Structure formats: structure tokens, C-alpha cells
């Protein structure tokens, strides 16, 4: 598939804003809104400057076609970026960057923290993908104003603050927690306008960052308690996890998975268990079962369709695995019986 240059990608968007969209600058005194529909997607983007050096965007995108496009990261100064995926998944390729994986997936229900200056990425999105993403951008100098001591921060952020040439990083911090989801809903539905809206949104954004950093710190401490893995090895374990999820219907063998993430199979087995507390295919099994539970409870799909969707060609094997996991059969769950575990 053709990779669309960044200039061409943004030119299509700008032209569609002029022909069938709208652009509202300073809509509430500190923000801009633009909407458009083009050959690639239907886009609604809300950009807010909460204070100098602290910005937020809310992006809603419905993808019309499969697309690969270049995303350059050459802003000066480049901000720390915090991203929350409320809807939609996409794959990113970062060729030749030693600090991070060559490719990774940002997934619905998860949040990410990264600092990736002076590079370009290639985003891969699929047709019919529906995105809702809240992103926060905070410059390093603004981040420093919140404290004189940074020992309590996660290690990558300490390096970011203390070094003149800080290393790049990209961390999948974890799943969006109920507390984060509550704050995100307040951000999406603020009760004020004008100056009070700006003050309210800044407070919610700072709360969201605090919740994210706290989860990051607990996650880092938990990993350090059980492993001496390097950051790149932890990232490769997450990369392997993302590949498993993306190919859950037809997963690669352990040898192939190790080859895809660039480690030996024995090292992958070790790193994966250290990070996730289970085997590679134990994780895949649990993921399939959780996905099946979501489909059975939230769609009109038949049990056989769900079994096939999560990678089981034999209905009996699927039903047995589901009952072993949740204590009831798929059919019982579909008809409203509560899982026993």
C-alpha cells in the first residue's frame, strides 16, 4: 500500500475543510475546531491551549479507506505527549529508532505516554475504524514547574528532566481506569464556557496526567520488584503482546513471534512471563475468552460466530474453554447467567 507523505495528507484535509467543512478559530476564546469529510476520513478535531506550553486535542475520526501516512515529529520544543484511546486502534511503524520498537499498536481502552522528537512515524489505519482520542501535550519546561524534586517520577521522566539530550521513549502505560474514564467524560462534556471552561479543563487535564503518572509509577515498581529487564526488553514484550492481539484469530508460532519482535524465543518466553505474569499463549487464551465474553454479552452474534471470531474452529473446544474460564457455558452467559469467576 502506498505511504502518503505528510504534506499530501494535510493538503487533502485543508482542501476538504474549504470545500465541505468548517474551521472555527478562538471558538471559546482559547481553542479551534475544524471538521471535514474527505476521501480518507470524516474528521472532527478540537484543539485547546489551556496555558502556554500545555495543550489538548480531542480527535474524532471515521476512516473511509485503508491508509498509511507519514507523521513527522519535528516540533520545537517537542512536548511530552499523553494519549487516551477511547475508541479505535492503529498500528505505527518507527523505522530505525533504537530506543523504541520498530512497530507497535495503540489500542482502544489503553493510554500511552511518549517523547519522540526528531523522527517520523508511519501510521497505518484501516477502513471503518472509528476513533475517539484525547491527547495532552506538555512542554518539558512547563512540566518542570510543578516540582523542584523529581525522584518520585517514573524513570523515563526523570531522565527527560535531568538530561540535556533526553532519550526518546514510548510507553503503553496500561488500561484506562474507572477514575480516568470519569475524568475523560468530564473533559468531553464540560459544564462551563469561556474562561471558566478553560480553568475547568486545565484542572481535569492535570488530574488525568496525575492519574496516568501514578499508574506508570506503580507499574514500573511492580516490574522492578520481579525483574531486571531493560526498558527495551519490556517494550518488546508489549510488542509481542500487541502482535498476538492483532492476530488473535490466527496467531504466529512462538518462534515466528520472537522473530517479529527481534529476540530469541527463550528470551521472549522469559520477558513475557516477567512482564505479564503468564505465558505467551496463556495470555492469548485469556484475551480470546475476554473478547468472547464481550461479543456474547454485547452483540447479537451466535455462539458459533463468536467462537470463529476469536480463533476457534471447533465449537466444542470453545465452549469447554469458556466454561473453564468463567464457570458457565457460552450459551448460559448469552442468556444472562452471571459468570462464576
- The CATH number covering residue 152 comes to 2.60.120.10
Mark whether 236 and 315 lie in a shared domain. Answer: no
- Supply the pLDDT for residue 264: 94
Q: Are residues 267 and 306 in the same domain?
A: no
Q: What is the pLDDT of residue 1?
A: 66
Residue 205 lies in a domain: yes
Residue 15, helix vs strand vs coil: helix
**Extended strands (E) in the chain:** 3-4, 22-25, 31-37, 41-51, 54-63, 67-73, 80-87, 90-93, 103-106, 110-115, 119-125, 130-138, 169-175
What is the Cα gyration radius of the chain? Answer: 22
Would residue 284 count as lying in a domain? no
Q: Is residue 45 a part of any domain in this protein?
A: yes
Q: 13 is written with which cell numbers?
A: 484535509
Tell me what pLDDT residue 293 has.
82
Same domain flag for 255 and 325: no
CA dihedral 310, 322, 284, 244 (to 10 degrees): 10
- Apex 115 CA angle, 112 and 120, nearest 5: 100
Q: Which three cell numbers stand for residue 6?
A: 505528510
298 with 248, same domain: the answer is: no
**Residue 250: other Cβ atoms inside 10 A:** 6
> Do 89 and 147 belong to one domain?
yes
> Residue 72 domain-assigned?
yes
* Strand partners for 174: 111
pLDDT value at position 298? 62
Q: Does one domain contain both 249 and 304?
A: no
| Distance between CA atoms of residues 143 and 161, nearest Å | 9
Report residue 135 as a C-alpha cell. Answer: 491527547
Same domain for 180 and 308, yes or no, is no
Cell of 39: 476521501
Count of CB atoms situated within 10 Å of the CB of 233:
19
Q: What is the DSSP letter of 327?
A: S
Cα–Cα distances in angstroms (integers) from residue 155 to residues 171, 216, 219, 220, 221, in the given order: 12, 10, 11, 8, 10
In a domain, 282, yes or no: no
| 306 lies in the same domain as 215 | no
Calpha distance 270→281 (Å, rounded): 13
Chain centre distance of CA 272:
19
Q: Would 73 be classed as within a structural domain?
A: yes
Give 3-state DSSP helix, strand, coil % of the chain, rounded to 5: 45, 25, 30
Q: How many domains does the chain have?
A: 3
Nearest to 82 by CA among 62, 106, 64, 60: 106
Judgement on whether residues 134 and 179 belong to the same structural domain of the protein: yes
Residue for grid cell 523529581: 150
Same domain membership, residue 242 and residue 200:
no
Q: Which of 226, 248, 265 is the last residue of a domain?
A: 226
CATH number at residue 308: 1.10.10.60
DSSP category for residue 321? H
Q: What is the mean pLDDT of each run of 10 residues along the chain (341 residues)?
A: 89 92 84 94 96 96 95 92 92 83 83 94 93 96 84 82 82 87 94 94 97 88 70 82 82 94 93 88 89 76 88 91 90 76 60
Distance separating alpha carbons of residues 174 and 132, to the nearest angstrom:
17
d(CA 306, CA 318): 9
Q: How many other C-beta atoms can be found within 10 angstroms of the C-beta atom of residue 116?
A: 20
In the numeric block, which cell numbers belong to residue 301? 452474534
| 215 lies in the same domain as 232 | no
Q: What is the dihedral of CA 95, 97, 98, 103, to 10 degrees?
A: -50
- Report CA-CA distances (Å) from 5 to 11, 67, 121, 123: 10, 11, 11, 11
Q: Three cell numbers at 215?
A: 499508574
pTM of this structure: 0.71
Q: What are the φ and ψ backbone dihedral angles of 126, each rounded to 5 degrees?
A: -105, 150
Domain-located, residue 249: yes
Pairing mode, strands 67-73 and 3-4: parallel
In a domain, 216, yes or no: yes
**Do 334 and 220 fall into the same domain?**
no
Parent domain of 318? 289-341
Amino acid at each position: 500500500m502506498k505511504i502518503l507523505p505528510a504534506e499530501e495528507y494535510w493538503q487533502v484535509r485543508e482542501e476538504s475543510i474549504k470545500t465541505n467543512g468548517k474551521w472555527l478559530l478562538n471558538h471559546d476564546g482559547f481553542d479551534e475546531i475544524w471538521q471535514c469529510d474527505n476521501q480518507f476520513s470524516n474528521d472532527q478535531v478540537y484543539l485547546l491551549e489551556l496555558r502556554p506550553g500545555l495543550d489538548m486535542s480531542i480527535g474524532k475520526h471515521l476512516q473511509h479507506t485503508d491508509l498509511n501516512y507519514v507523521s513527522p515529529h519535528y516540533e520545537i520544543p517537542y512536548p511530552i505527549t499523553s494519549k487516551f484511546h477511547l475508541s479505535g486502534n492503529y498500528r505505527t511503524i518507527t523505522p530505525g529508532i533504537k530506543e523504541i520498537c520498530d512497530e507497535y499498536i495503540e489500542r482502544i481502552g489503553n493510554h500511552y505516554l511518549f517523547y519522540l522528537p526528531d523522527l517520523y512515524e508511519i501510521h497505518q489505519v484501516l477502513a471503518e475504524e472509528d476513533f475517539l482520542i484525547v491527547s495532552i501535550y506538555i512542554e518539558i519546561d512547563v512540566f518542570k514547574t510543578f516540582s523542584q524534586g523529581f525522584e518520585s517520577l517514573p524513570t523515563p521522566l526523570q531522565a527527560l528532566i535531568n538530561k540535556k539530550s533526553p532519550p526518546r521513549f514510548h510507553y503503553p502505560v496500561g488500561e484506562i481506569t474507572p477514575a480516568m474514564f470519569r475524568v475523560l467524560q468530564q473533559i468531553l462534556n464540560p459544564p462551563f464556557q469561556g474562561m471558566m471552561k478553560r480553568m475547568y479543563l486545565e484542572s481535569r487535564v492535570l488530574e488525568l496526567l496525575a492519574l496516568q503518572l501514578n499508574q506508570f509509577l506503580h507499574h514500573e515498581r511492580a516490574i522492578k520488584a520481579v525483574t531486571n529487564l531493560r526498558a527495551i526488553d519490556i517494550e518488546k514484550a508489549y510488542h509481542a503482546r500487541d502482535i498476538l492481539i492483532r492476530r488473535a484469530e490466527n496467531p504466529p508460532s512462538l518462534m515466528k513471534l520472537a522473530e517479529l519482535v527481534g529476540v530469541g524465543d527463550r528470551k521472549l518466553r522469559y520477558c513475557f512471563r516477567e512482564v505479564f505474569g503468564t505465558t505467551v499463549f496463556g495470555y492469548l487464551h485469556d484475551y480470546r475468552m475476554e473478547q468472547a465474553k464481550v461479543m456474547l454479552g454485547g452483540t447479537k452474534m451466535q455462539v458459533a460466530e463468536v467462537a470463529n471470531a476469536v480463533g476457534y474452529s471447533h465449537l466444542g473446544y470453545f465452549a469447554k474453554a469458556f466454561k473453564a474460564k468463567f464457570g458457565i457455558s457460552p450459551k448460559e452467559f448469552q442468556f444472562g447467567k452471571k459468570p462464576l469467576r
